[in-house]
Structure 1
Amino acid sequence: MKLLQRAGALAAVATLSACATQTPAPHVTADLPQQWQAPLPHQGNQTELANWWRAQSDTLLVQLIEAAQTASPDIAAAASRIAQSRAERVAAGAALAPTLDAASSISRANQQSTLPMGTVSQAALQASWEIDLFGANRAARNAAQDRYDSARAGWHDARVSVAAEVANQYYGLRACEQLLTVAQQDAASRADTARLTELSAQAGFQSPASLALARASAADGSSRAIAQRAACDVDVKVLAALTAIAEPELRRQLAAGSASSSATASASVVAAAPSMAIAALPASTLSQRPDVFSAERAVSAASADVGTAQAARYPRLTLSGSVGVANFRAGGDNTKTDTWTIGPLAMTLPIFDSGRRSANVEAAQARYDSAVSSYRATVRQAVSEVEQALVNLDASAARSSDAQSALQGYRINFGAVEQRYQNGLASLFELEDARRTRLAAEQSVISLQRERSAAWVALYRAAGGGWTAPTNRPATASTH
């Protein structure tokens, strides 16, 4: 009869164990498009994203990125999260193994008995182990591993974000310097026109209205140059804050970088940045994004948390034991004994908790549903970011030749009108109109170069910045 009772108990435990392992799917699909809906930039050599900055032959940019990554509080916080998740992973894994503690004690007592007064000293090794019948500790360990993997991916994501931010600021500063050069040249041209107009007006060849217009144009050009210089100074200060480099030293480095090439040549480096490898299928590219991987790991961790909450509703089985030695000293005599115990083998069965454990399961399931929704939203956003970067890159490339042709034509036209004006064959109004058109074309070319560099940086950011998922994990986009 006792044998049948034990067999029935074991069968019940096995049935409960099977029920406890039913957790939501740790991997879900993301409904990715079969192909990109924008042209891929495969002209020229393809370089690895991780080395893309170095492939641009701009050593100062690489130095600024490295300095910013060293000083970034976001990266430091990401590193701290890695350390915390690593410790949590170790603690969760340790729950699956037995614990072993050493204990010792000494006491002296006098009892009203036949035993004389004496000193008792003892030492023992005590062990305990929770037998993980329903997978609670295994689920907690898996969740901790997922969060550790997510934290490592988040660290790289922070580094990529900092690199993209610094690059955008750096390219913006270089574009600002170009615009400043154009504004200074335009201001000098307007001032020269005002000087010539004043001489003509004094000789009676120009009206006072023309002289007033020339002076107003010169003042406007000077104002534009001052405003542009202030904008560049602000960009330098922002870059100094990002990189934690003292502003005087940063200005020295920027000036040294500009001395090796003209501002226009510096921008041409941006426009001719090397192509990066973008896979033909979105699934391949999205597997390189640390934020997508992190969101996928969050789903897996939430699934494990559901398992942990479910297992808390079922019995817990623990086994303990100890082995040690004891010594009793009384009246100069020692009595030594060896001790050992196995047990108790204890089972704790939840009976009534006012619905607390069921509520914990429902909360864990809700967090899982939220993680799934967040993961799919992250994937959609990733696809959108890559698509936007591809469109902007293709559009800026297509507009480049037209913008250069327009600039060349407006420069020629301005030169001809300026020559006619100096010979008295064109009015000041014609000259100022040609000047405004040429200035707008100059600014348009520089802005287009800035857009192209921003598109390259956005594509670098959207493609994950060279990060690859760990090989021991399934590919994000192909999991089910």
Structure 2
Amino acid sequence: MTPFRPSRLALAALPLLLAACAVQRPPAQAPAPTPAGWHAPVPHQGSVADLARWWEQHADPLLGELVRDAQALSPTVAQAGAQLAQARAQQVAARAALLPALDAQANASRGFNEQVGGIATVAQAGLQAGWEIDLFGRNAAVEDAARERLAGARAQWHEARVSVAAEVALQYSGWHHCMRQLAVAQADARSRGETARLAQESERAGFTAPATAALATASHADALGRAAQQRLQCEIDVKTLVALTGRTEPALRAQLAAAPPLRPQDALFAIGSLPAQTLAQRPDVYAAEREVAAASAEVGDAQAQRLPRVTLSGSIGRGLVRSGGVEVTSNTWSIGPVAVTLPLFDGGRRAAQVDAARARYDSAVQRYHAQVRQAVGEVEQALVRLDSTAGRSADARRAADGYRRSFEATQARWTAGMASLVELEDARRTQLASETALVALEQERMAAWIALYRAAGGGWSEAAPTP
């Protein structure tokens, strides 16, 4: 009869023990349902430019230069770059934990030595190695989390650059349209001024009542006030561009004055007709997805901390003893010990860490789903605005042309004495409103294109270069 041996039983049960201790992570992917297609029309008419560099397709190179300057100075981009560098360093540290550690040691002393019975010089030098055997994947989980967060930090750096580009393009477009509104206001003020002059001359000749001349003078003053207010807005736009780009104001004013007019286009770039294709270009969605994977790895790390840890150490060295002109050297080396650390009681601390890691994972999944919903909503809203402005543009141009012709005809009748000043001012007011609305509609359309550029991720891809 074979005697009972506990050591053999323990070895036989070891695979079952390791299987029972295996770390079970939650899924690293959290699928978020996306619609099968956009509910708003996708603008693909006409020639389209690359989404990532759509501003370079314009005949105006100044916009691209302003975008690059703003990205270089943006504190948001700088902060994202610092977070990227931090994530890269954390990944290097996490990867190093999977490798053995090697330290050099050296010491020397002189004094009475009992072994030689006299004064002696003793020196030692050696290498000490240590390695934690990642039996349950704890260090690998930490490295996985660091790698995923590094990928997310890269995407967030690109997102910061896209945001700055959109902000500069919006301000630049706003300045161009502000100047067009100023030109409309100034032309209206000149027209009213000429009317006021003629009315005053007619009053002095006795052909026009004082109340009529006063109405013309008040109308001219009102137009001058509107033009001054519009000029103030344009000045604010210039100073905002100065703050964004860091350029000197005199130089920027000269460059803006030499820039060609910014005309609206039917199509600036194309986006994917399928929502999944477009959302794949959103760096914030990608970063949220990477955070889910990182949180999943951290659950594995927290679970592995409840399991045994195995470390192996070793050393190699050389010693020297010198006394009375006699020198003795020796070599030493050792492998081990193999240390096993088994958590027994911690008051529930490690179990609580697992629960906290799972809660962080659930939170990351919810944030990812919310980010996807927000991305879909932003793209849909930008598409709806584009479609609306496209449908209103033709009507707005026809209205502006019609009201302009109506005002010119009324002005001719007033000059000939066949229309009252009240009729003239009413036609002028309608014409001014239609021209102002036309410029505002073109600005709204350009803003919708810029919003779509930002909502579609700015043409970012996972393979995009980073600093």
Say yes or no: TM over 0.5: yes
- Does residue 25 (structure 1) correspond to residue 27 (structure 2)? The answer is yes
SS of structure 2 residue aligned to 1:30: coil
SS of structure 2 residue aligned to 1:46: coil
- 1:290 is aligned to 283
- What displacement does 1:277 show? 2.0
CA distance in 2, matches of 1:294, 1:111: 64
After superposition, the C-alpha distances for 1:49-99 in whole angstroms (9 at most, x for unaligned) are 122110122201111111101111111111111111100000000000101
After superposition, the C-alpha distances for 1:137-166 in whole angstroms (9 at most, x for unaligned) are 001001000111111101100000000000
The correspondence for 1:214, drawn from 213, 216, 219, is 216
- Does residue 10 (structure 1) correspond to residue 3 (structure 2)? The answer is no
CA distance in 1, matches of 2:258, 2:384: 35
- 1:169 is aligned to 171
AA matched with 1:389: A
- 1:376 is aligned to 369
- Does residue 41 (structure 1) correspond to residue 43 (structure 2)? The answer is yes
Aligned-residue Cα RMSD (Å) equals 1.4
* Percent of residue pairs identical: 54
The correspondence for 1:468, drawn from 454, 461, 465, is 461
Structure 1 residues 360-375: aligned runs within 5 Å: 360-375=353-368
CA distance in 2, matches of 1:5, 1:132: 25
TM-aligned CA distance change 1:13 to 1:122, over 3 Å: farther
After superposition, the C-alpha distances for 1:422-459 in whole angstroms (9 at most, x for unaligned) are 11100111001101100000001100110110011011
- 1:443 is aligned to 436
AA matched with 1:247: E
SS of structure 2 residue aligned to 1:110: strand
SS of structure 1 residue aligned to 2:121: strand
Q: Is the 8 A contact 1:385 1:462 kept in 2?
A: yes
Q: Is the 8 A contact 2:44 2:267 kept in 1?
A: no
- 1:474 is aligned to none
Q: Is the 8 A contact 1:55 1:274 kept in 2?
A: no
User: Please, which runs of 5 or more residues in structure 1 have no aligned partner?
Assistant: 472-480
- What displacement does 1:6 show? 4.6
The correspondence for 1:307, drawn from 300, 312, 323, is 300
SS of structure 1 residue aligned to 2:317: strand
* Regions of 4+ moved over 2 Å: 8-13, 111-117
CA distance in 1, matches of 2:20, 2:128: 30
- What displacement does 1:114 show? 6.2
AA matched with 1:102: A
- 1:135 is aligned to 137
**What is the TM-score when the length of structure 1 is the normalising length?**
0.93
CA distance in 2, matches of 1:61, 1:33: 35
SS of structure 1 residue aligned to 2:46: coil
The correspondence for 1:407, drawn from 400, 410, 435, is 400
**What is the TM-score when the length of structure 2 is the normalising length?**
0.96
- Does residue 281 (structure 1) correspond to residue 274 (structure 2)? The answer is yes
Q: Is the 8 A contact 1:140 1:305 kept in 2?
A: yes
| Count of aligned pairs | 460
The correspondence for 2:198, drawn from 192, 196, 199, is 196
AA matched with 1:435: R
- Does residue 434 (structure 1) correspond to residue 434 (structure 2)? The answer is no
- What displacement does 1:330 show? 1.7
Q: Is the 8 A contact 2:127 2:317 kept in 1?
A: yes
- 2:160 is aligned to 158
- 1:72 is aligned to 74
Q: Is the 8 A contact 1:41 1:275 kept in 2?
A: no
SS of structure 2 residue aligned to 1:297: helix
- What displacement does 1:12 show? 5.6
User: Please, which runs of 5 or more residues in structure 2 have no aligned partner?
Assistant: none
TM-aligned CA distance change 1:372 to 1:405, over 3 Å: same
- What displacement does 1:5 show? 5.0
